[in-house]
Amino acid sequence: MTETTKRFILKGTPASSGLAYGEARVIYRWRHAVEERAITGAEVEKEYSRLDNAIARTLEELGEYRRSAGQKIGGPVARIFDSQILIASDQDFLRKVKSEIRKTRKNSEYIYSMMVEKNIMPLRRSEDEYMRQMVLDIEAVLHRVLHFLAGESEPDLSKFAKDRIFVGKIFTPAEVLSLYECGARAIITTGGSPNSHMALIARSLIIPTVIDARRAHLRIRSGDQLIVDGDSGQIIVNPSEVEWKRAVKASPKLRELPLTRLKKLPKVSPVTKDNVTIDVAANINLPGPLDRILSNHKIGVGLYRTEFFYLQQGKFPSEDSQFDIYDSIAESYYPQSVVIRTFDLGSDKINHADNYGKEDNPALGWRGIRITLEKPQIFKEQIRAILKASTRKNVKILLPMITDISELKKALALIRRSMAELKRKSIDFDEKIPVGIMIEVPSAAISADTLAGKVSFLSIGSNDLTQYTLAADRDNKKLVRIFNPLHPAVLRLIKMTVDAGKKHNIPITVCGEMSGDALAIPLLIGLGIDELSMNPSRLHNAYNVIPRLTVASAKKLANEIMKLNNLKDIEGRLLEFNLALE
Partner 1 sequence: MEQGNAQVINRLGMHARPAAMFVSHASRFKADVFIEKNGLRVNGKSIMGVMMLAAEMGSKLTIIAEGEDEKEAVATLVDLVQTGFGDLKNL
Distance CA 223, CA 205 (A): 24
Q: Which of 182, 197, 487, 504 is catalytic?
A: 197
Contact segment (CB under 8 A) with partner 1 among 115-123, 174-182, 184-192, 449-457 equals: 115-123
Measured from the CB of residue 316, what is the shortest distance to partner 1 in angstroms? Answer: 7
Among 16, 17, 58, 83, binds partner 1 (CB under 8 A): 83
| Secondary-structure percent of the chain, ordered helix, strand, coil, rounded to 5 | 55, 15, 35
Contact segment (CB under 8 A) with partner 1 among 215-223, 309-317, 326-334, 392-400 equals: 309-317
Closer to partner 1 by Cβ: residue 25 or 144: 144
The CA-based dihedral angle spanning residues 344, 346, 348, 350, taken in that order and rounded to the nearest 10 degrees: 80
Decide if residue 447 touches partner 1 (CB under 8 A): no
Residue 151, judged by CB atoms within 10 A of its CB (0-12, 13-18, 19+), counts as exposed
Closer to partner 1 by Cβ: residue 90 or 359: 90
The candidate with the shortest Cα–Cα distance to 309, out of 343, 275, 284, is: 343
Bridge partners, 509 (sequence order): 459, 531
Among 313, 328, 484, 578, binds partner 1 (CB under 8 A): 313
Quick note: the x/- pattern for partner 1 over 355-374, rule CB under 8 A, is x-------------------
Measured from the CB of residue 555, what is the shortest distance to partner 1 in angstroms? Answer: 49
Quick note: the x/- pattern for partner 1 over 548-577, rule CB under 8 A, is ------------------------------
Bridge partners, 234 (sequence order): 11, 229
Angle value at C-alpha 253, between 252 and 258, nearest 5 degrees = 145
Distance CA 43, CA 40 (A): 5
Distance CA 385, CA 401 (A): 21
Contact segment (CB under 8 A) with partner 1 among 25-33, 80-88, 331-339, 490-498 equals: 80-88
Closer to partner 1 by Cβ: residue 26 or 138: 138
Decide if residue 178 touches partner 1 (CB under 8 A): no
Decide if residue 43 touches partner 1 (CB under 8 A): no
Closer to partner 1 by Cβ: residue 132 or 147: 132
Sheet holding 13-16, edge to edge: 8-11, 234-237, 225-229, 19-27, 165-168, 186-189, 209-211, 13-16
Decide if residue 119 touches partner 1 (CB under 8 A): yes
The candidate with the shortest Cα–Cα distance to 28, out of 213, 166, 144, 135, is: 166
Q: How far is CA 344 from CA 196, 347, 348, 350, in A?
A: 18, 10, 11, 10
Among 316, 333, 343, 468, binds partner 1 (CB under 8 A): 316
Decide if residue 99 touches partner 1 (CB under 8 A): no
Decide if residue 86 touches partner 1 (CB under 8 A): yes
Measured from the CB of residue 544, what is the shortest distance to partner 1 in angstroms? Answer: 44
Bridge partners, 339 (sequence order): 396
Contact segment (CB under 8 A) with partner 1 among 116-124, 263-271, 334-342, 513-521 equals: 116-124
Helix axes 44-72, 129-150, angle to 10 degrees: 120
Among 62, 111, 210, 378, binds partner 1 (CB under 8 A): 378
Angle value at C-alpha 286, between 337 and 124, nearest 5 degrees = 160
Decide if residue 352 touches partner 1 (CB under 8 A): yes
Among 91, 275, 426, 505, binds partner 1 (CB under 8 A): 91
The candidate with the shortest Cα–Cα distance to 356, out of 342, 370, 335, 377, is: 370
Annotated active-site residue 511? The verdict is yes
Distance CA 161, CA 159 (A): 6
Chain residues 127-166 in contact with partner 1, contact rule CB under 8 A: 128, 130-131, 133-134, 138
Closer to partner 1 by Cβ: residue 116 or 278: 116
3-state secondary structure at position 451:
helix
Active-site residue set: 197, 511
Judged by the rule CB under 8 A, the positions of this chain that interact with partner 1 are: 83, 86-87, 90-93, 119, 122-123, 126, 128, 130-131, 133-134, 138, 313-316, 351-355, 375, 377-378
